[in-house]
Amino acid sequence: METIYLNTNRLNHLLALFRLSKEDLLEKLNDGLARKLEEKDVFADNIKLSLLKKVDKIFNKGLEYYIDPVDLIQSKEESIFFRKDDFNAKLSLGAKQIVNRFEEEKIAFSAISKLIDYKNKRTIRVCSLIESPISVADEVRVYLYPEFALDKRDFLKNFINKLADFNILVFEFVETHNKKEKANINGFFLTPNVIVLKRNQKALRREIFTLAHELGHYLLNEEDIDGNINNEAKVKVAESDVEKWCNNFAYYFLAGQYRNELEKISKADSSNDYQHGTIEKISVRTHLSALALYTRLLISSKISAIDYATISDSIMRGIKEAEEARAEELAREKQKALDAGHPFIASTPKPIISPLYLHTLQGALFNGFISEQDFCSKLHIPAHKLENYLV
C-alpha cells in the first residue's frame, strides 16, 4: 500500500490550531471503522496516502501542507485561536474549520491589497466599553446605516456594501444541508476589519442582527466568535460586558428612530393583543425580529416573564411550522421531478460578495497578480461567468 512522508510537527501544529488532542483526532478518523487506528498509524514519519487524505478532510490544508519539511511556529498573526483563550461558544469542528478558512482568506486578502497598493486601513475610531451603546449607535448610524429596503435580502446586501465603503470586509458563508461537520456559529469578527456571517436563509432578520452585533465588535476592536444562538433575543445575566454592549448597540443601530415607538408602549399583555400591531410595524421598518422587540419590552419590564414565554413559544412554533412546510414542499418537488424522470437538484443560495473583496480581486487580476482561474476560484464562480464580475 502506498505510503508518503509526513511532517508530524505540522500535524501537531494543526492540532494546536484546532484545539484538538491526538485522541480527538483518532476518534474522528476511527468513526465507522471496524479496525481502529492507533496513534502510531497516524503520527509516523511515513503514513498511508489514503489515511493522509482522510486526515486532510478534517483540516482542508491540501496534501502538500503535510509533506513540507519546514516546521511551523505558533503565531498570533496566524489565527484567533492563538490570540484568544476563550470564546462565547464551545465551538464544533465545523466552526473551527470555518474560522480557519476565513483566517486564511483574511491573510490572502491583506497580501493582495499590498500588491495592488490598496490602503486597507481602519477609517472609524475605536470605541470604548464605557461609552453608551446608544450614543455610539446614533453616531455611526449617520454614515454606516445602509439604504433601507423592505426586502430583507436587499437590506442585508446594502448593509454589506455600506460597510465596504469604510474598509470593513464582510464574508458570508453558506452551509449546505448535507455538510457533515456543522458550524455552530452565527458569525465572528477578526481584526483588523473582517466580519464573517453564516447565511441564515430561514431567518434573515437574525443574520442582519448578527451583522450589526459583529459591527459592534469591530467598533470596540474586540475579536470573538459568536455561537449559534438567537443572540438578537438573548437575556443572559452571565454574558460578558462586551456581548451586552454589542447586543445593545445592534438593537439601537437597527431600531433608529423606531426605538421611540417601542418606548411609547406602556405594557403588552392579552388586553391589548400584546401590542402585536405596533411590534409588526416596527419589525417591518427596522428588520428587527418580533422576538427581539418583545425581548426589549421584557428588559424594560413592559411585558411579564410569563407573557414573554407565551409569545416566544408562539413565535418559535411558527418558525418551526414554516420550516416543516418548506421541507414538505421540497419533498413534493423532488418526487415530482423523479416521477417525470428528471434529477432533482436543490438550489444552493449564493453568498453575497462584498464590493471591497470584488474590487480588490479585480485590481489583482488586471495587474497580473492573480490568474483568471484564481479569480474564479476565490469568488466560487464558473469560468464562463467571469465577464459578469469584471464590470
Statement: residue 218 has pLDDT above 90:
yes
| Residue 167 buriedness (CB in 10 A; 0-12 / 13-18 / 19+) | middle
In whole angstroms, give the CA distance from residue 251 to residue 264: 16
Q: In what order do the strands lie in the sheet with 185-190?
A: 169-173, 194-198, 185-190, 224-227
pLDDT at 346: 66
Q: Give the least confident one: 78-87, 124-133, 327-336.
A: 327-336
Read off the pLDDT of each residue in 47-53 and give the average, rounded to a whole number: 91
- Using alpha carbons, list the distances in angstroms from residue 384 to 318, 360, 370, 380: 42, 21, 17, 12
Q: Which residue has the cell 497516524?
A: 42
pLDDT at 181: 81
| Residue 390 buriedness (CB in 10 A; 0-12 / 13-18 / 19+) | exposed
**CB count in 10 Å sphere of residue 203:** 18
pLDDT at 239: 74
pLDDT at 182: 82
For residues 133 and 391, which has the higher predicted lDDT (pLDDT)? Answer: 133
Strands 169-173 and 194-198: parallel
Q: What is 33-96 written as a DSSP string?
A: -SS---HHHHSSSEEEHHHHHHHHHHH---HHHHH--S-----TTT-HHHH-S--SS---HHHH
- Using alpha carbons, list the distances in angstroms from residue 1 to 8, 49, 78, 300: 20, 8, 35, 68
Query: pLDDT exceeding 90 applies to what percent of the chain?
Result: 62
3-state class (DSSP) for residue 230: coil
Q: Residue length, the chain?
A: 391
Statement: residue 203 has pLDDT above 90:
no
Question: Bridge partners of 227?
Answer: 185
User: What are the φ and ψ backbone dihedral angles of 186, each rounded to 5 degrees?
Assistant: -95, -40
Read off the pLDDT of each residue in 236-250 and give the average, rounded to a whole number: 82
3-state class (DSSP) for residue 351: coil
**CB count in 10 Å sphere of residue 19:** 11
Read off the pLDDT of each residue in 368-386 and give the average, rounded to a whole number: 91
**Which pLDDT band holds residue 231 (cuts at 50, 70, 90)?**
very low
User: CA 63 from chain center: how many Å?
Assistant: 27
Read off the pLDDT of each residue in 137-161 and give the average, rounded to a whole number: 96
User: What are the φ and ψ backbone dihedral angles of 46, each rounded to 5 degrees?
Assistant: -125, 135
For residues 233 and 136, which has the higher predicted lDDT (pLDDT)? Answer: 136
Q: Are 157 and 165 in contact (CB under 8 A)?
A: no
Instruction: Kindly report, residue by residue over 306-356, the tens digit of the pLDDT.
Output: 999 999 998 888 888 887 888 788 788 878 877 777 777 767 788 999 999
Q: Give the least confident one: 8-12, 268-272, 315-319, 371-375.
A: 315-319
End-to-end CA distance of the chain: 51
- Beta-carbon contacts of residue 299 (< 8 Å; ≥ 6 apart): 235
Q: Is the peptide bond before 192 cis (omega within 30 degrees of 0)?
A: yes
For residues 275 and 177, which has the higher predicted lDDT (pLDDT)? Answer: 275
Read off the pLDDT of each residue in 26-41 and give the average, rounded to a whole number: 88
pLDDT at 31: 87
pLDDT at 335: 81
In whole angstroms, give the CA distance from residue 8 to residue 153: 45
In the chain, what are the domain boundaries? 3-74, 99-306, 355-389
In whole angstroms, give the CA distance from residue 196 to residue 66: 27
In whole angstroms, give the CA distance from residue 171 to residue 195: 6
pTM for the model stands at: 0.90
User: What are the φ and ψ backbone dihedral angles of 190, each rounded to 5 degrees?
Assistant: -120, 130
- Using alpha carbons, list the distances in angstroms from residue 297 to 171, 248, 281, 304: 32, 13, 15, 9
Exposure string for 39-61, b = 16+ CB within 10 A, e = fewer: eeebbeeebbeebbeebeebbeb
Statement: residue 237 has pLDDT above 80:
no
Element containing residue 231 per DSSP (H, E): none
Sequence-separated contacts (24+) of 60-66 with Cβ below 8 Å: 60/97, 60/100, 60/101, 61/14, 63/4, 65/10, 66/6, 66/7, 66/10, 66/11
